A and B are shown apart, each in its own frame.
Chain A
Amino acid sequence: QVQLQQWGAALLKPSETLSLTCAVSGGSFSGYYWNWIRQSPGKGLEWIGEINYIARTNYNPSLKSRVTLSVDTSNNQFSLRLTSVTAADTAVYFCARGHITIFGSDGSGSSRWFDPWGQGTLVTVSS
């Protein structure tokens, strides 16, 4: 059974860089996209981006200028860097395995869903 274990700094000051890593165990690392999703306190879910084993990435346009995803295939890990954090970046950050299927002869439709998820890391940005 695939398990995701994540870690990283929990308390940051404004303008610092958020850094989180997620380790994948118990299953294939290739063949999937690996995702970061965050949830601000009391709020809904926000997708940050995804990366596959050959480091192909897709980012949420609203965060793209500050986000970098990377992958370490030798250790089945992937990482998130978010620069210039502010209080608005305070959230629980989850890593998750993404399942993607593209439909239609022109690839115009898709199915994207996430399972399993990591345990979540609360990152607080405060001066």
Chain B
Amino acid sequence: QSVLTQPPSVSAAPGQKVTISCSGSRSNIGSNYVSWYQQVPGTAPKVLIYEDNKRPSGIPDRFSDSKSGTSATLDITGLQTGDEADYYCGTWDSSLNTVIFGGGTKLTVL
């Protein structure tokens, strides 16, 4: 059971928008920045978003995030078949004194 809660799966059609939620508590999302990772099965995770909607070089602005209280959300617009992957949120937990991740969400582009 992960400290951060994500839906196990989401799906949408190409070109559409999908939202992936990440729910936590005051000691993690409520007081620290969230980062988001994309993982294609069999490969290492790749960071998409960090520190209040910042994107590393090469990550398109189709990926964005937002935070409200103790929850964060990753939005992906203009879905492409290449976006099919597992998505993870992660942050620091100030009470547990450890990095924590969500359980992951499998995105299917129908």
List chain A positions with a Cβ less than 8 A from chain B: 35, 37, 43-47, 58, 60-62, 94, 96, 99, 101, 103, 108-120
Contacts and interface: CB of A to CB of B under 8 A. Distances in A.
A103 to B, nearest CB: 8
Contact of A99 (B45, B50, B104): B50
B94 A108 contact: yes
Contact of A47 (B44, B98, B102): B98
B2 interface: yes
Interface of B: 2, 31-33, 35, 37, 43-47, 50-51, 56, 88, 90-92, 94, 96-104
Contacts of A114: 35, 37, 45, 47, 90
A118 B33 contact: no
A103 B32 CA distance: 9
B56 A110 contact: no
Contacts of A103: 33
A36 B20 CA distance: 26
Contact of B88 (A44, A62, A115): A44
B44 A113 contact: no
B10 to A, nearest CB: 16
B98 A44 contact: no
A101 B50 CA distance: 11
A60 B101 CA distance: 12
Contacts of B96: 61
Contact of B31 (A44, A108, A115, A119): A108
A9 to B, nearest CB: 19
Contacts of B100: 47
Contacts of B98: 47, 60-62
A37 B99 CA distance: 10
B51 A111 contact: yes
18 contacts: A37-B99, A44-B88, A44-B104, A45-B37, A47-B90, A61-B98, A62-B98, A109-B31, A109-B94, A110-B32, A111-B33, A111-B50, A112-B32, A112-B35, A115-B56, A116-B44, A117-B46, A119-B44
